[in-house]
Structure 1
Amino acid sequence: MNYHTLGHSDLSVSDIGFGTMSLPKNDKEAIYTLQKAMDSGINFFDTADLYEQGRIETVLGQAIKGRREDIIIATKGGNHWEEGQQGWYWDPSKAYIKEALKASLKRLHLDYVDLYQLHGGTIDDPIDETIEAFEELKQEGLIRWYGISSIRHNVIREYVKRSSIVSVMMQYSILDRRPEEEMLDFLAENQVSVIARGPIAKGILSDNGESKIPEKGYLDYSAADLKKLFFALKAQTNPTRKLEQTAIKYVLNHPAVATAIPGASRLSQLEDNIQTAHTEPLSQSEIEAIRSLAKASRYTEHRE
């Protein structure tokens, strides 16, 4: 397993992380899966208060008992919800950010989290107030560092300019190359790392991805486009790697990306993710072939 420094922080994260949103529904199985990941050298686990209304944080807290010093925990807040209630609303206020973090700590059974992230955001938010909340939580020792989860250019640029974020979580994959247009180089230049979510694109970029292709397509790909691209990628993928491993390696190729966080709802998926760390890196010819096959789309909204 390789490890990278997250932005300008002192956190060293495994390049293969663990996105916990799709954990097994059975708690015992979920805890076993998480601990299997820890045993493999994965040390970065990303969660959020919104995932199954807090259940995922609770399960993760149980899984890391006795292993806290070896693990980097990231969670997210900003979506206001109450236990037992349906629905949520966006609330980036200072009061709620601090309240949400303390509720997350209680579920995780932790005194602090390593990385706390704003779970969304718009340019119309009270950004300075939100930053103040993060800075106070840091001073209080309840978080070590903070970041945001966003694909919005205007929001990302404001946080880079006005705060000390160390990371931006964003969707990035062979099927969603939008971050390559401007964001990756910009963040690298400002010592802010990318946490790449969705590197396997809901399973489409896996060896059995043909069966995962939605009828309505994915982003600006039609179902027919996806099927054609799937077979083209399979044909040029190094035979020593599964397609999902090539997909993860692709997003890790850019120096801005500190970690990719594929999920794992089954142990076999986790084992494939773990094995990715031991597969050959992508050659320059592979990278060029992938880029010639996949669209280089761009963000059209939230730019100003």
Structure 2
Amino acid sequence: MKKRPLGRTGVSVSEIGLGCMGMSEFYGNRDDEESLATLQAAVDAGITFFDTADMYGQGHNEALLGRFLKGRADDLTIATKFGIVRGDDPLDRRIDNSPAYVRTACEASLKRLGIEAIDLYYAHRFTGETPIEDMVGAMAGLVAEGKVKALGLSEVSADTLRKAAAVHPIAALQTEYSLWSREPEGELLGACRALGVTFVAYSPLGRGFLTGAVPQTGELPDSDYRRNNPRFAGEAGARNAQLVESVRGMATEKGCEPAQVALAWMLCKQPDVVPIPGTKRRKWLAQNVGATEVSLTPDEIAALDAAFPPDAVAGTRYPEAMMGTLNR
């Protein structure tokens, strides 16, 4: 597994990371034993970068990762996040970026993960109600105390990223990026490169859509978040399914899977971006890791770019109520 730098920290991480969210919720039922086996398979495959958050499964995801990390955390880079506060209803959530909450959330995450310091600590979302300087200042205080090693932000604008970096170095910016979510290719990726910030791409497979194997919305379990995602439903879902045919066709030509083409597109096009495809099953992990062996030519990359122009995808990335928390 090749490595890519994590900001200007001097640390390098595997060129593909593992998103752990689905091990706890949003994509069907939990299976802790299979998830733990998948985490082990990831390490065996050379993955060193693991992504979680305090809100995934209301702390379950961090605790699960903590079970796995006993005796081995020094060899891995663990990223977690704070800021989204949930109620009993899964749709009941608010964002807290206050300095006091930064500290409270960090202490809770350290306890669940069972580690002395968080390698990369993200603000999961940012509203602007707390000035960015105050939030990042509080996060920097955790670095000074040795509880956090590096700072990150998620789903913020290039301007907010610049303001944050003026307070303390930002190692990573995590935002959705894939063939069907190409908005970061403009100002955001440029700002990251200018500031020495690693771009971490979540949902690089379009929440599974780019695998070409996602069932229709009505066939998904009730607990699957995608039942309420605008890009999967009705006319939008049918239109987007047609786009995926170009990925399927290239995969057939190259003798690999559509998911591997979608990941290879990112790895070959953006040599400094780190995708973190999520899975809770060893089968799909092995497929994702196999993408590192798929090489795309400049012409093939251009063909995929042309097949997925930014305005071709139907539907918003999230339900309307959540769109206001993006690119702040």
**If the length of structure 2 is used for normalisation, what is the TM-score?**
0.83
AA of the residue aligned to 2:44: D
How far 1:252 moved relative to its partner? 2.3
Which of the numbers 182, 191, 195 marks the counterpart of 1:186?
191
CA 1:280–1:254 in 2, change beyond 3 Å: closer, same or farther? closer
Whether the 8 Å contact between 1:47 and 1:57 is mirrored in structure 2 is yes
Q: Secondary structure in 1 aligned to 2:59?
A: helix
Q: In the alignment, which residue of structure 2 is the partner of 1:10?
A: 10
1-structure distance, mates of 2:105, 2:86: 9
The match for 2:62 among 50, 54, 57 is: 57
Name which of structure 1's ranges 14-23 and 116-125 shifts more when overlaid on structure 2: 116-125
Give the aligned partner of residue 41 of structure 2: 36
Separation in structure 1 between the aligned mates of residue 296 and residue 232 of structure 2, nearest angstrom: 25
Choose the corresponding residue for 1:103, options 104, 108, 118: 108
Write the letter of the residue equivalent to 2:307: L
Q: 1:236 aligns with which of 237, 246, 250?
A: 250
The aligned amino acid for 2:106 is L
Which digits, 9 at most, give the CA deviation of each residue in 1:81-127, with x for residues without a partner?
58x78744211111110110110000011111100000110234321
In structure 1, distance between residues paired with 2:238 and 2:327: 30
* More moved, 47-56 vs 266-275: 266-275
Contact map agreement 1:150 1:156 (CA 8 A) in 2 = no
Assess, with a 3 A threshold, how the Cα gap between structure 1 residues 258 and 293 changes in structure 2: closer, same or farther: closer
SS of residue paired to 2:161: helix
Aligned partner of 2:276 in structure 1 is 261
Q: CA deviation at 1:80?
A: 3.1
Structure 2 residue runs of 5 or longer lacking an equivalent are: 25-29, 218-225, 317-322
Distance apart, 1:198 and its partner CA = 0.5
* Distance change >3 Å, CA 151–CA 210, structure 1 → 2: farther
Equivalence for 1:289: 303
SS of 1:29's equivalent in the other structure is helix
Q: Which amino acid aligns with 2:250?
A: Q
Q: Which moved more, 1:46-55 or 1:20-29?
A: 20-29
Query: Moved runs in structure 1, 4+ residues, more than 6 A?
Result: 212-215, 298-304
Partner Cα distance (2:22, 2:188) in 1: 27
In structure 2, the residue matched to 1:72 is: 77
Q: Which amino acid aligns with 1:259?
A: V
Equivalent in the alignment of 2:320: none
Give me the identity figure in percent: 31
Q: CA deviation at 1:53?
A: 0.4
Correspondences of 1:18-29 after superposition (within 5 Å): 18-23=18-23, 25-29=30-34
Secondary structure of 1:268's aligned partner? helix
Q: Which moved more, 1:240-249 or 1:12-21?
A: 240-249
Q: Which moved more, 1:247-256 or 1:96-105?
A: 247-256
Root-mean-square deviation over aligned CA pairs: 2.7
Query: Paired residue for 2:265?
Result: 250
The reply to whether residue 137 of structure 1 matches residue 142 of structure 2 is yes
User: Any idea what SS the aligned residue of 2:120 has?
Assistant: strand
CA contact 2:124–2:154 (8 Å) conserved in 1:
yes
Name the aligned partner's letter for residue 112 of structure 1.
A
Structure 1 residue 273: Cα displacement? 1.3
Q: Distance in 1 between matches of 2:145 and 2:198?
A: 24
CA apart distance, 1:180 = 0.7
What is the CA-CA distance between 1:51 and the residue it aligns to?
0.3
Counterparts of 2:207 and 2:21, CA distance in 1: 12
